[in-house]
Amino acid sequence: MGNQCRFCRSSLEHTFVDLGVSPIANDYISKETLNQVERFYPLHTYVCQQCLLVQIEDFESPEHIFGDGDYAYFSSFSDSWLRHAQAYTDLMVQRFGFDASSQVVELASNDGYLLQYFHQKGIPVLGVEPAANTAKVAQEKGIPCVVKFFGVQTARELVADGKQADLLLGNNVLAHVPDLNDFVAGMKIVLKPKGVITMEFPHLYQLIGQNQFDTIYHEHYSYYSLLTVMQVFAAHGLVVFDVEELPTHGGSLRIYVKHEDNGDLAISDRLGKLKDKEIQAGLDKLETYLSFSEKVQQVKRKLLKFLIEAKSQGKAIAAYGAPAKGNTLLNYCGVRTDFIDYTVDRSPYKQNLFLPGTHIPIMAPDYIKQTKPDYLLILPWNLKNEIMEQAAFIREWGGKFVVPIPEVQVYT
């Protein structure tokens, strides 16, 4: 990218927020490599003054982040995310009538967490997934997968193989794409003339409004408002015709996209309403983006103040979860084992490893019962209700939950 906007190629001169330097958020560390040199990269986000796309530079190749065979994020370890995927499947079948004659293609299909529900309904599916280890889990569920990065080249290969999509979907992938124009151009190629695209991604409106700066990390190259994402698709002959606001990941959008010459699908009035909401919040003005840094610094100061006071009172603090967002938060705030004894995670792929940068050990959730911490800091705050339910037992010894975003809050 250099210092050019990855969509419109304007030069990037304005900082959105600078979070210092941080390791790759999903590069968990084994005991054997704990004392080896770690690579840290700038986590400096810019806003394009022309199209207002918020973005970071790509310092590390997507091949390293996603495709080297041991990508640590498996979607199926969140119960609420599986429920979300199942509800989406039912909605798509109900709204668009997909059946055994349809083809559903998911970009970044991970471990088959979503396509399994279409598969159960007898609808043909295909996953495109760059991480071989997650794709293997999907294939074991009977989900056919192409282990490749998606773009124009892969799209042409799929079409040559007779694969075009009636429904082309991607959840939390649009943010993960360094070559944005190649990715969207590929989507146009693989979409049938009357096909529908749905994309879900964290909503920049919520990131700014709720101080969700910890959702910024090196895997997330771009951060979208509806106003900007509509420009991106329009540049490739694709039209956003509907939008939904979702509670997932702290507030996401699901956009519905069609070919510009497809007159069968009407433009929803939800689009105009959300555009107005974004304009009222100032997302069409550069100044709004330039004032975000100060809000982020306030969150950092409040979290450190809480941790320092709790430690000075002799309290034990553990964390719950080992999400990428937690690694951004802890590295930016300089929080290590001097404040947090350990974290826990349900995923066995993360247990007995250490968080990148901070080297906080990751244990199995049962470890909480053995150690009885006074506070449990919930790092995946978007799942706070699910986690507070799972770990409700900490109240037996007077343990309390702490949620850091949008600002530090303690729950008894």
Q: What pLDDT is recorded for position 19?
A: 96
pLDDT in tens, 116-156: 999 999 999 999 998 888 888 888 888 999 999 999 999 99
Residues 6+ apart with CB under 8 A from 90: 117
38: in domain: no
pLDDT digits (tens, 9 = 90+) for 154-170: 999 999 999 999 999 99
User: What tokens does 353 get?
Assistant: 């490893």
Domain interval for residue 282 = 65-289
At 24-49, the pLDDT tens digits run 888 899 999 999 999 999 999 999 99
What distance in Å separates the CA atoms of residue 361 and residue 337, rounded to the nearest whole number? 9
104 beta partners: 125, 167
State the DSSP string of 278-291.
HHHTTTTSHHHHHT
In a domain, 59, yes or no: no
Query: 114 near 200, Cβ under 8 Å?
Result: no
Average pLDDT value over all residues in the chain: 93
- The answer to whether residues 320 and 268 belong to one domain is no
- Same domain as 342, residue 228: no
Q: pLDDT at position 69, please? A: 45
**pLDDT the model gives residue 68:** 46
* Whole-number pLDDT of residue 77: 58
Q: Verify that 278 and 349 share a domain, yes or no.
A: no
User: Is 10 within a domain?
Assistant: no
Per the model's pLDDT, the better-predicted residue between 1 and 277 turns out to be 277
Model confidence pLDDT, tens digit, residues 202-258: 999 999 999 999 999 888 999 999 999 999 999 999 999 999 999 887 899 999 999
Asked if residue 243 and residue 372 are part of one domain, the reply reads no
Report DSSP letters for 103-162, one per residue.
Answer: -EEEES-TTSTTHHHHHHTT--EEEE-S-HHHHHHHHHTT--EE-S--SHHHHHHHHHTT
How does residue 75 score in pLDDT terms, banded at 50, 70 and 90?
low
Residue with tokens 């049962």: 366
* Neighbour-count burial of 49, counting CB atoms closer than 10 A to its CB (0-12 exposed, 13-18 middle, 19+ buried): middle
For residues 188 and 337, membership in a common domain is answered with no
- How many domains in the chain? 2
* 221/74 same-domain check: yes
> Residue 219 domain-assigned?
yes
Contact yes or no for 400/377 (Cβ under 8 A):
no
CATH of the domain at 261: 3.40.50.150
Q: Alpha-carbon distance 47 to 201, whole Å?
A: 18
Check whether 104 has a pLDDT greater than 80: yes
